[in-house]
């Protein structure tokens, strides 16, 4: 009996999340188990039957509700300070 495999975009569409979320989860070693076959990432049907969309959303909501660490707060402050100059740069990009 062969297992049915789905790629990350198919799984992301099924769970209604970004495929980048699955990439990040692989990077931080979280999320559903996966296999690499010939350089391609696949998820087998039998490895995530008990995970529901609601569970995924609850995990994301829980992660977003945690308070920032001091490093995260510093990076957020830095990003806010850079967003306006970067936006202006790109808005003026095609102007002579």
pLDDT tens-digit map of 14-68: 888 899 999 999 899 888 888 888 888 888 766 555 667 777 788 888 878 888 8
Q: Per-residue pLDDT for 1 more than 50?
A: no
pLDDT of residue 20: 92
Domain residue ranges in the chain: 1-65, 68-96
From residue 67, alpha-carbon distances to 62, 64, 71, 72, 76 in Å are 10, 8, 11, 9, 12
pTM score above 0.95: no
What pLDDT is recorded for position 50? 60
Phi, psi of 61 (to 5 degrees): -60, -40
Question: Looking at residue 36, what is its pLDDT?
Answer: 86
3-class DSSP state for residue 33?
A: coil
Distances (CA, A) of 74 to 3, 33, 49, 78, 86: 46, 33, 39, 6, 18
């Amino acid at each position: 009996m062969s297992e049915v495999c789905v790629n990350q975009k198919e799984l992301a569409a099924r769970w209604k999340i970004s495929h980048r979320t699955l990439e990040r989860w692989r990077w931080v070693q979280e999320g559903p188990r996966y296999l690499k076959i010939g350089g391609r990432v696949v998820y087998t049907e039998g490895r995530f039957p008990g995970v529901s969309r609601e569970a995924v959303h609850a995990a994301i909501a829980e992660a977003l509700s945690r308070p920032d660490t001091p490093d995260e707060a510093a990076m957020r402050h830095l990003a806010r300070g850079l967003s306006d100059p970067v936006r202006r740069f790109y808005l003026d990009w095609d102007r002579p």
